[in-house]
Structure 1
Amino acid sequence: MDELLTPDEMARADAAAIASGIPGLVLMEAAGAAVARAVRRRFRPARVLVLAGPGNNGGDGWVAARLLEGAGWPVAVAPLAPPRPGSDAARAAARWRGPVVPFSAAEAARAGLVVDAVFGAGLSKLVEGLAAEVLSGLAAPVVAVDVPSGVDGATGAVRGVAAQAALTVTFFRRKPGHLLFPGRGLCGEVVLADIGLPGSVLPAIAPRAWRNGPGLWRLPRPGVEAHKYARGHVAVAAGPGLTGAARLVAAGARRAGAGLLTIAAPDAATAAVLRAGEPGVMVGEDAAALLADPRVGTWVVGPGLPPDSATSALLRAAIGAGRRVVADAGALRAAAGDPAALRGAAMLTPHAGEFEAVFGPAGQDRPAAARCAAAATGAVVLLKGADSIVAAPDGRLAINDNAPPWLATGGTGDVLAGIAAGLLAQGVPPFEAACAAAWLHGAAAHRAGPGLVAEDLAARLPELLATWWID
């Protein structure tokens, strides 16, 4: 159930189900029943106003109104416009025998609960005029059908205005807009309902996006004969005098399972500071020698490094030596306006500002921007944020939604780069390594709890990894 369908893909799923012999009205009845059921489970009876648009989303609302009214709730329907004659929505509306009231702010103000069935996930225009006036002024709790009206189901962007929902009921599979901000913040609780669409329609659609989670990747599990060399050797480039970032990367990589970890110090003074740190971390002062050693197969370049020509040269040298390279922070800034400089890296881990510096503004369609960046560089792109996006050069995409807000503190991104590198070193492919790292990063933060600082994250990884490593 982790596939994410764009509105166009969802329309194809509906069409395939109907072509297989499932009447569209049957699907609409099931969707409306799911909305009514969710309302009854989560709210006490109240005066309900169903705001119904002219399309299938509105049809779902007409069905929900009929079923709630049949359960004894006081319900009225306010149609924005009548359904198209002969459509499933028109047939659903014809079964309604209750009150029909004007689509107006005054009617909405009288409601104790509003069912928003105006526009669906595939909205392609701005919400404006009367619809915008009513939706922007809602004061009662809102239950959205599929998505809050005005939210683009493909990107999470708001087209004009959108009401804040307490609950969103969607069907068959989630849309990217349920996980991507700002749409995610407007959905409230999301209920995914089964309405009888068969999973057999998915192979023909071939979805290329998923909600990130353990079902999407497999973590390496050492065999009984494993040794440290078999689990990979990670090198981290440290900045001059800026040792904290490299040490956080090292902690993440080691806790993720890398067998060996060496920090490449730029000078003797920095090396001395690093050698006073964790005893299991090796420190070297000759990056060229490390690059020449084929056993040091994975490099993290960027955290704590200045965005200068020396950083660019080290990045190119690591890529040129055929190493698996995670490029972050200073390495990304050093490639500002020049995505070609990152070609050959295994993974890029930018936050929004670093992404914009290299590739330009992501805009409202962040999945498309991340996919383009991955295709341009040949690297997996982990675009970090509250709704991190992982994009592969072949078009695969995952959205990570388990990051708590207390992850927004300095150094946590360094730990994330280290986790990803530790997994790469053990042979996890880049897309799966980025997805697993993002999820483990969020899960570790949840276990650490509010008040987290970056140093807390790596220490939480063993208890998570025990789920996979210990029978």
Structure 2
Amino acid sequence: MPNRSETRVITPQVLRDWALPVPTGGKEHRGTVLVVGGSRFTPGAVLLAGVAALRAGAGVLQLAAAESTAAALSIQVPEALVVGLPETPDGAVAGDPGELLGGLVGKADVVAVGPGLNDIDQTRTLLHLLLDAAGPQTALVLDAYALGALSHEPDLLVGSGRPVVLTPNLTEARHLLGREPDADLDADARELATRYDAVVSLYGHIATPEGDCWREESGDAGLGTSGSGDVRSGLLAGLISRGAGPAQAACWAAWAHAVSGQRLVPRYGRIGFLARELLDEIPHTLATV
């Protein structure tokens, strides 16, 4: 672990010294990830996050998305249980999705919320429902509109004691901070971690509420592509599901996300690969540490 005044660069050696758990037994020993998101127009975000969770080692995957997309998702991801959620007339996931989702949340080990959601008010209502249904040790990974919802209620998770990871991009960080991010993203990540009482993974800058900080330095421009953040949040959720702690999962996910992109460069160039092409690289990238 780094000194709390120090930011430690994430390297393969750092990760080897902080090895991921290797569960034994059946799929139940690798945990259940539930991904909640996906409006009528953005179901692919849930698909990317969910498959990334499986590639990272999750044992059971469940997807909850707008009901108009559920049949297509169940065909695209046959490994997952897929649940359709009620929609607003505009195609957003409704904030009161009924009892079925609450039951799934209560049994999940990790709930990833946000990929593909597109209505801030509905997301705020949905986030409260998820928190009410989740067990005290259910881990949360918040991304995209879930982070926007959290920015309106910064004390929502403070003191909860549950494992939480926030995965903002720079726009989402601006909402969470209430200002533009500084050039020093290490400091911004620390500020967010303290303010929201959660582990924060901000563009490869990871911080904990206790002041620990790491930086992933091998990410490249190619990761700035549509859907890449959904892959990263799902990868992180999958690592927590298999037994990693929130900070450990955030560090490993940042590194594996970046290096999976590097592995695609010889085939597609620095900026030519797609987010879905990262998915197949994840298992090999993790195995090479």
**Shorter-chain TM-score: which interval?**
0.7 to 0.9
Over residues 286-330 of structure 1, what are the superposed CA-to-partner deviations in whole Å (9 max), with x where a residue is unaligned?
A: 31221232xx11011011012423312332333342321100001
Cα distance in structure 1, aligned partners of 2:164 and 2:191: 15
TM-score when normalising by structure 2: 0.83
TM-score when normalising by structure 1: 0.52
SS at match of 1:230: helix
Cα distance in structure 1, aligned partners of 2:28 and 2:23: 12
Q: Which residue of 1 aligns with 2:91?
A: none
Q: Which residue of 1 aligns with 2:282?
A: 461
Please state if 1:254 is matched with 2:50.
no
Q: Which residue of 1 aligns with 2:45?
A: 245
SS at match of 1:413: helix
8 A Cα contact 2:45 2:115, kept in partner: yes
Cα distance in structure 1, aligned partners of 2:221 and 2:63: 30
8 A Cα contact 2:23 2:242, kept in partner: no
SS at match of 1:276: helix
Shift of 1:352: 0.8
SS at match of 1:406: helix
Deviating above 4 A after TM superposition, structure 1's stretches of 4 or more consecutive aligned residues are: none
What is the percentage of aligned positions where both structures have the same residue? 36
Aligned-pair Cα RMSD in Å: 2.0
Bigger shift: 365-374 or 449-458?
365-374
Over residues 159-200 of structure 1, what are the superposed CA-to-partner deviations in whole Å (9 max), with x where a residue is unaligned?
A: xxxxxxxxxxxxxxxxxxxxxxxxxxxxxxxxxxxxxxxxxx
**What letter corresponds to residue 23 of structure 2 in structure 1?**
P
2:171 pairs with one of 350, 353, 359: 353
Q: Which residue of 1 aligns with 2:94?
A: none
Please state if 1:209 is matched with 2:209.
no
Over residues 48-70 of structure 1, what are the superposed CA-to-partner deviations in whole Å (9 max), with x where a residue is unaligned?
A: xxxxxxxxxxxxxxxxxxxxxxx
Q: Which residue of 2 aligns with 1:9?
A: none
Shift of 1:331: 0.5
Shift of 1:413: 0.6
Q: Which residue of 1 aligns with 2:31?
A: 232
Task: Please tell me whether Structure 1 or Structure 2 has the larger radius of gyration of its CA atoms.
Answer: 1
8 A Cα contact 1:211 1:400, kept in partner: yes
Please state if 1:266 is matched with 2:66.
yes
Over residues 308-360 of structure 1, what are the superposed CA-to-partner deviations in whole Å (9 max), with x where a residue is unaligned?
A: 23312332333342321100001012233442235456100001110111212
Please state if 1:395 is matched with 2:195.
no
Over residues 242-268 of structure 1, what are the superposed CA-to-partner deviations in whole Å (9 max), with x where a residue is unaligned?
A: 21000000111000000010001332x
**What letter corresponds to residue 198 of structure 2 in structure 1?**
A
SS at match of 1:262: strand
Matches within 5 A, 1:42-441: 207-214=5-12, 215-216=14-15, 217-223=18-24, 226-241=25-40, 242-267=42-67, 269-285=68-84, 286-293=100-107, 296-320=108-132, 321=134, 322=136, 323-343=138-158, 344=160, 346-360=164-178, 361-384=180-203, 388-441=204-257
Shift of 1:207: 4.9
8 A Cα contact 2:147 2:176, kept in partner: yes
Shift of 1:467: 3.0
SS at match of 2:248: helix
Cα distance in structure 2, aligned partners of 1:396 and 1:353: 23
Consecutive unaligned residues in structure 2, runs of 5 or more: 85-99
Cα pair distance change 1:307/1:383, threshold 3 Å: farther
Higher RCO structure (Cα 8 Å, ≥6 apart) = 2
Cα distance in structure 2, aligned partners of 1:348 and 1:446: 24
Cα distance in structure 2, aligned partners of 1:342 and 1:302: 16
SS at match of 2:218: coil
Q: Which residue of 1 aligns with 2:89?
A: none
Consecutive unaligned residues in structure 1, runs of 5 or more: 4-204
Shift of 1:409: 0.7
8 A Cα contact 1:213 1:436, kept in partner: no
